[in-house]
Amino acid sequence: MTADDFESKTKDLLEAHGPTLLELAKQSIRHGLEDRTTLDIDIADYPDDLGRDGACFVTLKLGGNLRGCIGSPQAHQPLITDVAENAYSAAFRDPRFSALTENEFRDCELSISVLSPPVPMSFADEADLLAQLRPGIDGLIIEDGGRRALFLPAVWRQLPEKQDFLAHLKTKAGMAADHFSPAFKAQRFIAEEIFDTP
C-alpha cells in the first residue's frame, strides 16, 4: 500500500469509526481506574474494519503537557485491541509517569494516532537522512547499538526543525544528540490522528 493509499484509507476509517475508537480508549482507562486491569473486548462487537490488524499510539495530555504515550510501531493485532491495550498502558504503564488518577483523567486530552507500516530509509550520512525527512509528515524510528526510539509525526509541532527533531529522538533513545555511525538505521512512517478533548 502506498503512503497516499494508507492516508486515504485511514482517513476514511477514522471518519467512520473515530468516535468509536476514542470512546473505547476512554472506556479502557475508566476500567483501569476502577479495576486496575485491562478491558476485555470482543472483536465481534465492533465493525469488521476495526478487527483488522493495525498499529496505533494513544497519547494523553494534561494542560498541554504530555501525561502518557504508549503504542505499537507495527501492526501485530486487531486495531480495536491495540487501541484498548495502548490506552490502558498510556494511563497506567508509561514508565515516565505515575499512574493516572481519576481527577487527572477528567481533564485529560486524549489522541489516537493510527500508523502506516514503517519503511526503511536509505542514506549515506546524517545530512542525507535529514534532507529526506518531511517535517509535519514523517514519523521516525531510529536504531543503533541496541538502542531504539520513535517519534510520532505530531512531535514536529514541538520540534519543527529537522536537526532538533532528530537530536531529541537520539536523546530519547539514549544516544548522544550528535551520535552517528555506519550501523545507524532509520525507518519512517505516516500517521493519522484523532482527538478527544475534555
The distance from CA 190 to its chain's CA centroid, rounded to whole angstroms, is: 10
Q: What is the pTM of this model?
A: 0.91
Decide if 113 contacts 154 (C-beta within 8 A): yes
CATH fold for domain 119-190: Dna Ligase; domain 1 (3.30.1490)
Which region among 5-14, 65-74, 132-141, 160-169 has the lowest average model confidence (pLDDT)? Answer: 5-14
Residue ranges per structural domain of the chain: 3-116, 119-190
* Grid-cell match 465493525, residue found: 47
pLDDT for residue 198: 74
93: CB partners within 8 A, 6+ apart = 70
pLDDT for residue 7: 85
What is the architecture, at CATH level 2, of domain 3-116? 2-Layer Sandwich (3.30)
The answer to whether residue 3 scores a pLDDT higher than 80 is no
Decide if 27 contacts 83 (C-beta within 8 A): no
Q: Which tens digit of pLDDT belongs to each residue from 37-93?
A: 889 999 999 999 999 999 999 999 999 999 999 999 999 999 999 999 999 999 999
Decide if 79 contacts 52 (C-beta within 8 A): yes
* Grid-cell match 469509526, residue found: 17
- Closest to 137 (Cα-Cα) out of 2, 49, 7: 7
142-157 mean pLDDT: 96
79: CB partners within 8 A, 6+ apart = 21, 50, 51, 52, 53, 54, 55, 56, 114
pLDDT for residue 6: 86
